[in-house]
């Protein structure tokens, strides 16, 4: 009798195990296919937030269309969170919104997605491109201070922003001159501080011989980083006349690029400079560039930002900020095609640091 009972229990456990596996395996497959765009928790508006109400009505957040609420509840369960350093959403906090065509915020250390909105949609990113340009330059030029670059005509013909002209009608400093010699350091800083296209072109051509060959190096790096939805066409991010649809990234891919760039201190040193005065090697021509980051002085925990604008991309923005109580906790946010980028990215950071709890940060 006892043996018969044990056999019945064994059969019951076997059937139960099969049922659990039958239910979980499809969910695990969904998790794996969408591991890069998981949204933690379901959307619920926070009471009293007019910002959330307005943005929710005009720009509803999107997730992959084939993910159901049940799928999300499974793939975001505690049993599938493997990284002990990953931030955890506090109870009572829903999603936030922005007036962007696409956007994302990730924890820089773990890559955990904190906020997303069409984060995997391919879009032009304009001058955000220059972050990848800076990465390639640092990997290819070992001594920025003692590397001298001669400016050619192609660089001087770049559209603004350029050294001396923030826009086509706002020129307040000397332009680069054909034949002028400038250190790679000054061009590098000018590219990141003032988002200058001429500096990006000059650096790219010095490294690779042509803008196209430099773009090949950028795309090679993107592949090394495992980015499948990013393709660069030039070092500046300007829209090529005949290739604009072939130049793209996603908010999520670019957030990963930006998080990767944190290992390069020279990039973020430049991002923190409010402006820079510099000279040609012979000291005869002076130049000035000003930072395009409007929150540099207003947001104490801002670690740096890269702006972008073209007619194809609209207004884009990448920013990194640290937790108000812990400089070691950093969040990278990217928003694409957003005319309210400064207000919205400030709200995203505020929400992230309020809605999430990081381990060992009480």
Phi, psi (degrees; rounded to nearest 5) at 123: -150, 155
Q: Answer yes or no: 195 catalytic.
A: yes
- Among candidates 282, 360, 353, 307, which has minimal Cα distance to 105? 353
- From residue 5, how far is each of 18, 19, 93, 235 by CA, in Å? 20, 21, 48, 73
**Catalytic residue (choose from 100, 118, 127, 280):** 127
DSSP string, 9-56: HHHHHHHHHHHHHHHHHHHHHHHHHTGGG---S---PPTT-HHHHHHH
Tell me the C-alpha distance between 208 and 210, whole Å: 6
Asked if 299 contacts 346 with a C-beta cutoff of 8 angstroms, the reply is yes
Contacts of 20 (CB under 8 A, 6+ apart): none
DSSP string, 267-310: HHHHHT-SEEEEE-TTS--EEEEE---TTTTT-TTEEEEEEEEE
**Catalytic residue (choose from 130, 205, 221, 330):** 130
SS3 346: helix
**Catalytic residue (choose from 98, 195, 258, 261):** 195
- From residue 111, how far is each of 14, 54, 106, 181, 231 by CA, in Å? 38, 29, 6, 41, 21
Q: Answer yes or no: 127 catalytic.
A: yes
> Count of CB atoms within 10 A of residue 157's CB?
12
Catalytic residues: 127, 130, 195
């Amino acid at each position: 009798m006892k043996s018969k009972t044990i056999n019945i229990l064994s059969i019951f456990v076997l059937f139960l195990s099969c049922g659990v596996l039958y239910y979980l395996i499809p969910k695990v497959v969904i998790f794996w296919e969408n591991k890069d765009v998981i949204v933690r928790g379901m959307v619920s508006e926070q009471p009293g937030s007019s910002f959330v109400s307005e943005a929710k009505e005009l720009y509803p957040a999107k997730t992959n269309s084939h993910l159901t609420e049940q799928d999300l509840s499974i793939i975001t369960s505690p049993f599938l969170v493997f990284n002990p350093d990953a931030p955890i959403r506090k109870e009572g906090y829903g999603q936030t919104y922005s007036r962007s065509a696409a956007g994302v915020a990730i924890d820089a250390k773990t890559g955990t997605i904190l906020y997303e909105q069409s984060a995997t949609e391919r879009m032009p990113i304009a001058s955000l491109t220059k972050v990848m340009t800076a990465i390639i330059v640092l990997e290819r030029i070992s001594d920025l201070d003692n590397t001298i670059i001669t400016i050619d005509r192609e660089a001087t013909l770049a559209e603004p922003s350029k050294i001396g002209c923030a826009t086509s009608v706002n020129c307040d400093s000397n332009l680069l001159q054909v034949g002028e010699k400038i250190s790679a350091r000054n061009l590098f800083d000018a590219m990141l501080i003032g988002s200058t296209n001429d500096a990006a072109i000059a650096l790219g051509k010095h490294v690779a011989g042509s803008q196209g060959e430099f773009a090949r190096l950028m795309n090679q790096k993107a592949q090394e980083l495992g980015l499948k939805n990013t393709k660069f066409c030039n070092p500046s991010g300007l829209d090529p006349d005949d290739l604009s649809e072939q130049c793209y990234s996603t908010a999520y891919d670019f957030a990963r690029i930006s998080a990767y760039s944190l290992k390069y201190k020279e990039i973020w040193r430049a991002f923190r400079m409010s402006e820079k005065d510099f000279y040609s090697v012979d000291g005869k021509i002076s130049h000035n560039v000003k930072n395009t980051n409007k929150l540099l002085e207003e947001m104490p925990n801002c670690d740096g930002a890269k702006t972008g604008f073209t007619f194809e991309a609209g207004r884009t923005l990448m920013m990194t900020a640290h937790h108000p109580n812990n400089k070691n906790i950093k969040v990278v946010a990217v928003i694409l095609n957003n005319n309210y980028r400064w207000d919205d990215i400030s709200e995203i950071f505020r929400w992230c640091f309020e809605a999430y709890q990081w381990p060992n940060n009480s």
